[in-house]
Structure 1
Amino acid sequence: MAEEEKQQQEQESKGGKKKLLLILIFLILAAAGGGAAYKFLVLDKKKAETKEKQAERIIEEIKATENVGVMFDLGTFVVNLADPDIERFLKVSIVLELKDQKVQAEAQKRLPEIKDAITTLLLTKKSSEIRTPEGIEFLKEEIAKRVNAILPLGGVKNVYFTEFIIQTG
C-alpha cells in the first residue's frame, strides 16, 4: 500500500505541476495578447492622431503664407553707423509687409514720419550689433515697433531687407 500511495502522490504532484504549467502558459499568453491589443488599439491610435495634428499644422502654415499682406517699399536708406573707432556706413533697402490697403494708405500719408523714425534708429546702431543674424532680426523687430507706433492702426506684419550692406569709410 505504501508503494501505491507513493505512486498516487507522484501522479498527483505531476498532475499539479502540469496544471501549474498550463496556468502559467495561459497567463503568459493572456499578457502577450493584452500587450498586443494595447499596441493596436491605443498606440496606433495615438500615432494616427499625431499625424493628423502634423497635417493640420502644415495646412495652417500654408494658409499663413497665402495671407501675405500688402508690400510697401520704403526705398533705400544710407546712414552713418554709431561706431566710435571708424566711420562705417549702412545701406539698407526696406520693404514693409502691411496688414491691408487701409494701413498702406495711412503709411503713405505718414511716409516722412516713418522714414525719419527708421533713419534715427539706424543712426544709433553699431556695426557689431547688426552684423549677426540675431542682430538683424532684432533690428527688424525694432523697425516694426517704431512704424506701428506711428500708424494709428498699427498693421506692420513683417519687415524685409532687400539690400543690406555695411561699408567702411
Structure 2
Amino acid sequence: MAEEEKQAQEGQEKGGGKKKLIILLLLLILLGVGGGLAYKFLVLDKKAAESQEKQAQKIIEEIKATESVGVMFDLGTFVVNLADPDIERYLKVSVVLELKDQQVQQEAQKRLPEIKDAITTLLLTKRSSEIRTPEGIEFLKEEIAKRVNAILPLGGVKNVYFTEFIVQTG
C-alpha cells in the first residue's frame, strides 16, 4: 500500500508539472498575441494614419494649384499641312497658353514670332495618326509647352489648351 500511495503522489506531481507547463505556454502565447496586437495598433495604424495625412495634404496642394489659374495668353489659330505621305491633310488648331504670371506674359509677347514659329514647325512634323488619339493630343501639348519654355528665359508655361482642333483631309 505504501508503494501505491507513493506512485499516486508521483503521478500527481508529474501531472501538476504538466499543468504548470501548459499554463506557462498559454501565458506565453497570450503575451505574444497581446504584443502583436499592441504593435499593430501602436505602430502600423500610426503609419497608416500618417500615410493618409500625406495623401490628404497632396490632394489639398493639387486643389490649391488648380485654383491658382495663371495668365491666359492666346496665340491664335494655326493652319498647317500635316506630314502624312499618302494624302494631303490639314490641321487647324487654336492654342492658348496658361502662363505663370504677368512677367512671363510680357516676355512671351516680346518673343511671339519665335513662339509661333516653333509651334508651326512642330505641327508640320506631325502625322494625322499621331494626333488623332487623346494620348497623341496630350503629348502634343507637352511638346508645345517644352518648346515654348525653351524659348522663354525663365520658362513659365503651366499648361497648353486647344480651343479648336480640326484635322481635315484635302
2: distance between equivalents of 1:152 and 1:47?
43
Distance 1:89 1:158 in 2: 24
Unaligned runs of 5+ in 2: none
In structure 1, distance between residues paired with 2:133 and 2:107: 32
Residues in 2 aligned to 1:17 and 1:10: alpha-carbon distance in whole angstroms: 11
Identity of aligned residues (%): 82
What whole-Å deviation, never above 9, does each CA across 1:69-100 have from its counterpart, x for those lacking one?
Answer: 11101111111111111111111111101111
Whichever residue aligns with residue 130 of structure 1, its letter is I
Alignment of 1:137-156 (within 5 A): 137-156=138-157
Rounded to whole Å, the distance in 1 between the matches of 2:11 and 2:75 is 100
Secondary structure at the residue paired with 1:157? strand
CA displacement 1:109-152 (0-9 Å, x = unmatched): 22222222211221121111212223222221221222223223
What is the aligned residue count?
169
Deviation of 1:10 after TM superposition, in Å, equals: 0.9
- Distance across 2 between alignment mates of 1:22 and 1:153: 74
**Paired residue for 2:166?**
165
What TM-score do the two structures reach when normalised by structure 2?
Answer: 0.91
User: RMSD of aligned C-alpha atoms?
Assistant: 1.5
Partner of 1:131: 132
List gaps (5 residues or longer) in structure 1.
none
Give 2:65's aligned amino acid: A
TM-score normalised over the length of structure 1? 0.92
**Equivalent residue for 1:27?**
28
